[in-house]
Amino acid sequence: MLNIVLYQPEIPHNTGAIARTCAMLEAKLHLIRPFGFQLLDRRMKRASMDYLDDAILVEHASWTAFEESLSESARVYVLSGWASENYTHIQYQKDDYLVFGRESDGVPQEILEKYKTLRIPMPGGEKSPREDHRFHSLNLSVSVGIAAYEAARQISQNWGE
């Protein structure tokens, strides 16, 4: 089972939309506290629609608690705009973890330094100089959808059948 990890999510409707995506992919959604909202906030429920009952949610009190839950063989990938390697260059496996950071500032540097980091290329964001900062990131739920579906496509032997 693919694992999607949200590090201290801040926006309930993003988390709800991601829970919906995870339900569709039969992926486990790990939520690292603290959150910027109450779990099962009405906005989260609205965004997840009726898929929340089918989502597998695992709460972790902290990043440390999450790390302690990992097996020694766990493969953890952190998606970040600061990474140089493209997310499509990985051969994903069942039980991999894809970590996504807070909407406001991503994941802390110490996490980026500890795990393999991957990026979703954004041609519009490659403009230089980026004086207006209009093209610097995708919405979190969109980023999760892009990476999670690529991982699921690779993992599944009967994709689309």
Write out pLDDT tens, residues 34-49: 999 888 778 888 887 8
d(CA 18, CA 14): 6
Mean pLDDT of 135-153: 90
pLDDT at 149: 96
More confident residue, 159 or 50: 50
Q: What length does the chain have?
A: 161
Using one digit for the tens of pLDDT, what is the confidence trace for 86-139?
999 999 999 999 999 999 999 999 999 999 999 998 876 555 544 555 556 789
Q: What is the DSSP letter of 106?
A: B
Cα distances from 153 to residues 1, 79, 89, 156, in angstroms, run 12, 18, 14, 5
More confident residue, 127 or 154: 154
Q: What is the DSSP letter of 86?
A: B
Residues contacting 12, CB < 8 A, separation 6+: 36, 37, 41, 43, 44, 47
Q: What backbone torsions phi and psi does residue 55 show, to the nearest 5 degrees?
A: -80, 145
Judged against a pLDDT cut of 50, whether residue 26 lies above it is answered with yes
**3-state SS, residue 6:** strand
pLDDT at 28: 98
d(CA 111, CA 127): 27
pLDDT at 159: 66
Cα distances from 101 to residues 53, 67, 132, 133, in angstroms, run 24, 15, 23, 19
Could you tell me the domains of the chain?
3-155 (3.40.1280.10)
Determine how many CB atoms are found less than 10 A away from the CB of residue 115: 18
Using one digit for the tens of pLDDT, what is the confidence trace for 52-76?
889 999 999 999 999 999 999 999 9
Mean pLDDT of 129-155: 82
Tokens of 145: 């959808």
pLDDT at 147: 98
Q: Across the beta sheet with 116-118, what order do the strands follow?
A: 56-60, 28-32, 3-7, 97-100, 76-79, 116-118
Mean pLDDT of 8-25: 94
